[in-house]
Structure 1
Amino acid sequence: MSKRLEGKSMIVTGGASGIGLATVERCLKEGANLVISDLASSDGAAKAQALNGQGGRCIFIPCDVSSTEQVDHLIAETVRQFGKVDAVFNNAGIGGITPAVDYADADYLRIIDINLNGVFRVARAALRQMYMQGSGSIINCASILGTLGQTGTAAYSAAKGGVVNLTRTLALEAAPKGVRVNSIGPGYIDTPLLKDLPPEMRQGLVNLHPIGRLGRDEEVANAVLFMASDEASFVTGAHLLVDGGYAAGKS
């Protein structure tokens, strides 16, 4: 039985940790050749070396998504190494909690630049390559905060809401070229950072999810795998919530 991404090449930005790394590991097992892309200061190179050959090949290409030059190099180097770009998980991002009235311009604009403009830069470069190929799949990582608001997240929520509608627009443009563009909206995912929260704060986050727990990295990775695979061949312009029912409303 063939693997679901056999022979495909895939880039994961923000791929050195968390949801990104879980997606790399999951897609490698399904036969893809993977590019871990993250900041040069990350441990992406070591992660790629450790994972190389665990299904497909795995390499590291450093990239800061706030730099058009670095993003364009990421796509070009992937093509040089693997010959094509079949899928991109546009996952690099940063967080921030600040009341709107206290946001400094520089802090607000940095979150917008990484979380929204960075997604656009990567998508733009990937689309140029995918249009030449006549095929491809881009999965943009938004958030439940692309659907709902939350106090203290003016920049983050604005960016993630932008990602959701950017995805729809890109999907419309890309569909005639044989390229699919979708987004996913994770809820709160159980990461080491959340383990350090006081128990009452952690339980408060759990209580936001009707399913009764936080999400796991691999559960988001499974959604990305589906969107990247040919199983989702009729899915484009969609926003898939992976949130344990968070956005469904109050129970």
Structure 2
Amino acid sequence: MTVTPHGRIQDKVALITGAASGIGRATAERFAAEGARLALTDLNTDALDELVSQFEKSGVPVISVPADVTSEADIKRVVHETMKHFGRIDILVANAGVIPEADLATATADLWDHTMAVDARGMFLSCKYAAAEMVHAGQGAIVCLSSISAFAGQKGQAVYGPAKFVASGITKHLAIDLADKGVRVNAVAPGTIDTPAVAKMDADAIRKVVEMHPMGRMGKPAEIASAILFLASDDASFITGAVLPVDGGYLAQ
């Protein structure tokens, strides 16, 4: 890994949820290369430890705080440990989420509750407690992970799609709530991205969804990380409340 001497987010403290794999990991790697100091959290402690070890060997300032984003106590602890170690939180990437496949007939109430707990409650709690520290400091940037499923109906997304509508809603409402407090809130809405979570989905379903993307392929986690970096950086200093599609043209149709 090459760390840029004067990166776009040099010395900023970035808290990233769901950091151990997929988009979260790619974002952590890109942020590290751009000079950030990292606080990383995930439930997958083995993958998180491996990533942190990689950063430590490269001289990246990093801490890991394993946590369940659905737990208010856990999120409070993550924010507390980040503040204790780094003294501030400049950036939050609210990335942790699950991607269940279910239509209305097969979806269960328990699946709905679990998905909303991780994708919606977890995002709300992460934003709530990180934003409190940002407001105190008078500055900060939050980037939430939404999805093309928050814009367009899709087969087999009767649970995941509504959860991502919540992600976009949180983004827009918090952006207005925090605009006069120096805190920007934006989101990215990825198309189908080649992540471990997507790899577990039905292969035929993935093929059909990929065919709906005009660019004819899945996106790469690093491509989403680039968009997250832009929204988190000072290059986006007059942008708040935006939900940026990064989808190979999917929503342009």
Alignment of 1:121-200 (within 5 A): 121-192=125-196
Q: Output the CA distance in 1 between the equivalents of 2:154 and 2:100.
A: 12
Counterpart of 2:6 in structure 1: which amino acid? S
- The Cα shift of 1:103 comes to 2.3
CA shift at 1:12, angstroms? 0.9
The DSSP-based 3-state class of the residue aligned with 1:154 is coil
1:93 equivalent in alignment to 2:119: no
1:190 Cα offset (Å): 1.8
Identify the residue that residue 216 of structure 1 maps to in structure 2. 220
Q: Which amino acid aligns with 2:74?
A: Q
Q: 2:18, 2:41 within 8 Å by CA — same for their partners in 1?
A: yes
Tell me: CA distance 1:128–1:54, structure 2 relative to 1, closer, same or farther (3 Å): same
Q: Which of the numbers 13, 32, 39 marks the counterpart of 2:17?
A: 13
Number of residues of Structure 1 aligned to a counterpart in Structure 2: 249
Q: For residues 222 and 188 of structure 2, what CA distance do their matches in structure 1 show?
A: 14
Does residue 244 of structure 1 match 2:248?
A: yes
Offset of residue 155 of structure 1: 1.6
**CA distance in 1: counterparts of 2:225 and 2:23, whole angstroms:** 7
TM-score by length of 1: 0.93
In the TM superposition, what are the counterparts of 1:75-86 in structure 2 within 5 Å? 75-86=79-90
Shift of 1:92: 0.3
Is the 1:8–1:33 contact (alpha carbons within 8 Å) kept by the matching residues of 2?
yes
- Write the distance in 2 (CA, Å) between the matches of 1:191 and 1:102: 24
Structure 1 vs Structure 2: percent identity of aligned residues? 37
Q: Aligned to 2:122, which of 108, 118, 124? A: 118
Report the residue type matching 1:209 in the other structure: H
Q: Partner letter of residue 214 of structure 1? A: M
| Residues 207-241 of structure 1, C-alpha deviations (whole Å, 9 max, x = no match) | 11112221011000000111111111001000000
In 1, Cα distance between the equivalents of 2:242 and 2:8? 20
Moved over 6 A (4+): 196-199
Letter in 1 for 2:54: A
How far apart, CA to CA, are the structure 1 residues paired with 2:111 and 2:146? 19
- CA displacement at 1:206 relative to structure 2: 2.6
Distance 1:116 1:244 in 2: 25
Distance 1:104 1:194 in 2: 20
TM-aligned CA distance change 1:124 to 1:192, over 3 Å: closer
CA distance in 2, matches of 1:122, 1:173: 16
TM-score if structure 2 supplies the norm length?
A: 0.92
